[in-house]
Amino acid sequence: MNEGKVGNIEMICLIVNAIVCKAFFTSVAAVIQKVGTAGWYMTLISAAVSLAVFGLMYIMIRAYEGKNILEIYDEIVGKKAGRLLTLVSCMILFLSASITLREFTDATNVYLLHVSPPGYIVGMFIIAMIVVCFFGIEGLARTAKFFSYILLINFLIVMVLSIQHYQIYRLYPLLGYGLGNTVKNGIMRSSAYGEIILIGIFAKALNNTKDAGKIGLKCLILGGLFIAQILFSVIASFPYFTAAELADPLYIMVSLIEYGRFFQRVEVIFIFTWNLSTLIGLTAIFYGAVISYCHAFDIKDKRPIIISFAISIYAATLIIPSITIILDYVVPTLRDYGWVGFYSPIFIAIIIWFFFKRGKQTYAEKS
């Protein structure tokens, strides 16, 4: 399998897609339910928390130059404990991919393929993921960059055309359900940006692992701005109590666009943005999970793992019987407690490194 090398902008496009694709689905409504009209800046608090955690990860990447975060775990806590931390990362990426895929499937089922069974939609998606993963990270990252410009233009078109529905008064009260509630939820929901750990996993594909810092910073800034803009436009377009009830408020917002007879059917533009961004983002997450798993068990040939992981994701995506359970239990749990899976390996590794390894490393460097 071709691992290849990935440029900095390509990596940024890949990670931003992995972060932002969730905002096309139920997360927007869930945020508005939690914090009301303060949702658009609450996400910036989440981004700031993720940035802090990413900073910790970057300290380790700098300390162990030329290694990815999974190898760094092994270096810091030993192979066996490192395997455990790697498997935690693998597990959370796997869950994130399967839950977001289920959200996507239900949204596609509702708005696009009304009579197709969910298994069919998931199956096609999974096949695309398998094919792309066989080509490796290089092709995926280049495609992410190639599409990102087009997706960005589509996104801007949709946002600009939606201006006709914006009512600034809908942003009030600015503090939503209270500043304390907003900050608390902002910290809890930092898992919305948890895919930033993919930079650590893909670090060796970069031309220089030291570039990971600026890439992560840019990814979080861009991801935060995009998600904030989506939340802002939805909150400004609908009364918050309505937006909190919509399963896919962004799609509804787009379908309301109407500029004369011919510009009232722009959903098609949004469908491509939505589909392609999700395909890129989820494939990156899936590939990250495969790499983590293969690293944990020293598996060099990833191809059989890709297929078996894909089958597992297929099963995990469809195992939840209805969209109500996803909306009420699964997605809120992942978003509120996902940070444990995304960030706890980093916390454990950085603490051990700081107290037990840093001194030795500095001594070794000096001598």
Partner 1 sequence: MYSEYHKTMQRLKASGLRLVETMGKIPFLNLLIYKESPKKDKFELLETKEDDSEDDVINEHKVVKEKYIYSDIKANLKRIREDFNIPQNSDVIIRELKICGYIDAFLVFINGLIDKKILNEVVLKNLMSGTRGMDYEEEDLVDAIAERIINVGIVKKHNLFDRIEDFITNGYCALFIDGYEKCLLLEMTAYEKRNIEKPENEKTIRGSKESFVEDLPTNISILRRLFRNKNFIVEYMKIGAENNIGCAIMYVKGITNPEILKELKKRINKVKSEAILNSGMLEQRIEDNKWMIFPQTLNTERPDRAVSLLMEGKALVMVEGSPCVNAVPITFFDLYHTSEDNNLKWQYGSFISIIRLLGVFMAVFLPGFYIALVLYSQEMISSELLASIAAAREGVPFPTIIELIIMELAFELIREASSRVPGSIGETLGIVGALILGQAAVQAGLVSPILIIVVAASGIANFVIPDYSLSLAIRISRFFFILMGYMAGFYGISIGMFIFFVIMCSVKSLGVPFLAPVAPKLRTSPDIILTKPIDKMNYRPDESNAVKKLKKE
Q: How far is the CB of 72 from partner 1 (least distance, A)?
A: 23
Interaction residues for partner 1, span 299-328 (CB under 8 A): 299-301, 303-304, 307-308
Residue 143, C-beta contacts closer than 8 angstroms, at least 6 positions apart: 132, 280
Judged by CB under 8 A, the stretch of 1-9, 17-25, 67-75, 184-192 that binds partner 1 is: 1-9
Q: Which tokens hold the place of 235?
A: 């909150």
Site for partner 1 (CB under 8 A): which residue of 26, 46, 100, 143? Answer: 143
Site for partner 1 (CB under 8 A): which residue of 1, 52, 160, 351? Answer: 1
Q: For residues 161 and 154, is the Cβ–Cβ distance under 8 A?
A: no
Q: For residues 169 and 4, is the Cβ–Cβ distance under 8 A?
A: no
Site for partner 1 (CB under 8 A): which residue of 58, 125, 293, 309? Answer: 125
Look at residues 299, 280, 292, 275 and name the one whose alpha carbon lies nearest to residue 342: 292
Interaction residues for partner 1, span 323-362 (CB under 8 A): none
Q: Based on CB atoms, which residue is closest to partner 1, 1 or 52?
A: 1
Judged by CB under 8 A, the stretch of 4-12, 42-50, 78-86, 157-165 that binds partner 1 is: 4-12
Q: Based on CB atoms, which residue is closest to partner 1, 284 or 330?
A: 284
Site for partner 1 (CB under 8 A): which residue of 276, 313, 331, 334? Answer: 276
Residues 145-164, mask of contacts with partner 1 (x by CB under 8 A): xxx-----------------
Site for partner 1 (CB under 8 A): which residue of 84, 113, 152, 225? Answer: 113
Q: What is the DSSP string of 274-290?
A: HHHHHHHHHHHHHHHHH
Q: For residues 171 and 235, is the Cβ–Cβ distance under 8 A?
A: yes
Site for partner 1 (CB under 8 A): which residue of 271, 316, 320, 352? Answer: 271
Single-letter amino acid code for the residue at 337 = Y
Q: Based on CB atoms, which residue is closest to partner 1, 314 or 342?
A: 314
Q: At what angle do helices 69-77 and 331-352 cross, to 10 degrees?
A: 50
- DSSP H helical ranges for the chain: 8-20, 27-35, 39-63, 69-77, 79-111, 118-135, 137-161, 179-188, 197-201, 212-237, 240-243, 249-255, 267-296, 303-318, 323-325, 331-352, 358-366
Interaction residues for partner 1, span 186-245 (CB under 8 A): none
Q: Based on CB atoms, which residue is closest to partner 1, 139 or 332?
A: 139
Q: Count residues binding partner 1 (CB under 8 A).
A: 45
7 binds partner 1 (CB under 8 A): yes
Judged by CB under 8 A, the stretch of 155-163, 231-239, 267-275, 318-326 that binds partner 1 is: 267-275
Q: For residues 64 and 72, is the Cβ–Cβ distance under 8 A?
A: yes
Tally of CB atoms within 10 A around 225: 15
Site for partner 1 (CB under 8 A): which residue of 71, 211, 267, 336? Answer: 267
Q: How far apart are CA 328 and CA 336, in angstroms?
A: 12
Look at residues 187, 224, 171, 324 and name the one whose alpha carbon lies nearest to residue 23: 224
Q: Based on CB atoms, which residue is closest to partner 1, 147 or 193?
A: 147
268 binds partner 1 (CB under 8 A): yes
Cα three-residue angle 93-48-8, rounded to 5 degrees: 65
Site for partner 1 (CB under 8 A): which residue of 80, 168, 169, 262? Answer: 262
Which parts of this chain interact with partner 1 (CB under 8 A)? Answer: 1-2, 7, 9-10, 108, 112-113, 116, 120-121, 124-125, 127-128, 131-132, 135-136, 138-140, 142-143, 145-147, 261-262, 265, 267-268, 271-272, 275-276, 279-280, 299-301, 303-304, 307-308
